[in-house]
Structure 1
Amino acid sequence: MLMTLCAFATVCQALDDDPLHATAAPYPHSQVIERVEFDWSSHRREAVGSDNWPVTWADDGHQYTAWGDGGGFGGDNKKGRVTLGVARIKGEAANYSGKNLWGGFESERAATFGGKSYGILSIGGVLYMWVGPQPGPHLRECRLASSRDHGLTWTQADWVFRFEDGLSIPTFLNFGRDYAGARDGFVYSYFIEPQWGPETPPMSKFGFEVHRPGRVHLSRAPKTSLLKREAHEFFAGFDAAGQPRWSSNVADKKPVFSDPNGVGWNVSVSHNAGLRRYLLATEHDATHAGKFGLFDAPEPWGPWTTVAYDDKWGEGHVEVSTFYWNFPAKWLSADGSRFTMVFTGKNTNDSWNTLVGRFVLRSPPFSPQK
Structure 2
Amino acid sequence: MPDRSGPHAQEATSDTLLDAVDPAQLPQENSSAFASAWVEPAGSYAAPGSDGDLWPTCWAEDDYVYTANGDGRGFSDDTFEDLVVNRIAGTPETGLTGERLAASAQVAAVWGDPKLFNRKPTGMVCVNGVLYLAVQDLRYGDDAFNDVPNASISRSDDHGRTWKITEQAMFTDYRFTTIMFADFGKDSEHAVPALGADDGRYVYAYGLDWNWRASFNGIVPDPIDLYLARVPDDAVQDRARWEFFVGLDDQDRPRWSSRITDKVPVLHEPMRRYPDPRPGKNGSDTIIAQGGVLYNAPLRRYLYSTWTAGGLEFFEAPQPWGPWRRFKYHNTGLGPWRRMADTEHTPKNAGYGTTMPSKYVNADGTKLWLQSNWWVGPVPEPDDNYNFNLRRVELTPYRPSRPSNSRSDDNLARSVDGVRSYQICAGSAHPHYANDGDREQHETSDDQMNKGIDFWGYLFPAQQRMNELIYVAGPADAAGGWFTAYAGGLRVQVRRDFIWHDVTGLTVTPDYPYAPSIENGTEYRFTFHDTHGDGIRLIGQPGGTDHYTSITELEVYYR
- Using the size of structure 2 for normalisation, the TM-score is 0.54
> Which of 203, 228, 231 does residue 217 from structure 2 map onto?
203
Shift of 1:189: 0.6
Give distance in 2, aligned partners of 1:322 and 1:16. 25
Give distance in 1, aligned partners of 2:139 and 2:39. 38
Give distance in 1, aligned partners of 2:107 and 2:261. 35
Shift of 1:212: 3.9
Partner residue in 2 for 1:124: 128
Partner residue in 2 for 1:148: 157
Matched, 1:323 2:352: yes
Give distance in 2, aligned partners of 1:301 and 1:165. 22
* SS of corresponding position for 1:69: strand
**Aligned length in residues:** 332
Range that drifts further, 153-162 or 63-72:
153-162
Partner residue in 1 for 2:374: 345
Matched, 1:35 2:45: no
AA matched with 1:218: L
Range that drifts further, 226-235 or 318-327:
318-327
Q: Deviations over 1:162-193 (max 9, x none)?
A: 44263221110011111101021111111112
Give distance in 2, aligned partners of 1:337 and 1:134. 35
* SS of corresponding position for 2:240: helix
* SS of corresponding position for 2:25: coil
Give distance in 1, aligned partners of 2:366 and 2:42. 17
Shift of 1:22: 5.8
Native 8 Å contact 2:137 2:150 kept in 1: yes
Give distance in 1, aligned partners of 2:33 and 2:39. 17
1:30-179 correspondence runs (5 A):
30-38=32-40, 42-47=44-49, 49-75=51-77, 80-94=79-93, 95-103=95-103, 113=109, 115-133=119-137, 136=140, 139-164=148-173, 166-179=175-188
Cα 1:297/1:264, change in 2 over 3 Å: closer
- Using the size of structure 1 for normalisation, the TM-score is 0.80
Give % identity: 28
Shift of 1:84: 0.3
Partner residue in 2 for 1:4: none
Native 8 Å contact 1:46 1:353 kept in 2: no
Native 8 Å contact 1:234 1:249 kept in 2: yes
Shift of 1:81: 0.4
Matched, 1:185 2:206: no
Give distance in 2, aligned partners of 1:243 and 1:220. 15
Native 8 Å contact 1:339 1:357 kept in 2: yes
Native 8 Å contact 1:37 1:360 kept in 2: no
Give distance in 2, aligned partners of 1:93 and 1:229. 37
Give distance in 1, aligned partners of 2:89 and 2:230. 30
Shift of 1:118: 1.4
RMSD: 3.2
Give distance in 2, aligned partners of 1:154 and 1:213. 30
Shift of 1:224: 1.7
Give distance in 1, aligned partners of 2:212 and 2:42. 35
Partner residue in 2 for 1:3: none
Runs of 4+ in 1 over 6 A off after TM superposition: 313-316
Cα 1:149/1:43, change in 2 over 3 Å: same
Shift of 1:42: 4.7
Native 8 Å contact 2:154 2:163 kept in 1: yes
Shift of 1:80: 1.8
* SS of corresponding position for 1:359: strand
Partner residue in 2 for 1:7: none
Q: Deviations over 1:325-351 (max 9, x none)?
A: 211111111110112222212214222
**Unmatched runs of 5 consecutive residues or more in structure 1:** 1-14
AA matched with 1:270: L
Shift of 1:27: 5.8
Shift of 1:358: 1.7
Matched, 1:259 2:283: no
Cα 1:27/1:195, change in 2 over 3 Å: farther
Range that drifts further, 32-41 or 263-272:
32-41
Q: Deviations over 1:245-296 (max 9, x none)?
A: 1000111100001111223441211100011000001124xxxx23211011
AA matched with 2:85: V
Cα 1:145/1:213, change in 2 over 3 Å: closer
> Which of 323, 343, 362 does residue 398 from structure 2 map onto?
362
* SS of corresponding position for 1:72: strand
Give distance in 2, aligned partners of 1:45 and 1:59. 22
AA matched with 2:63: G
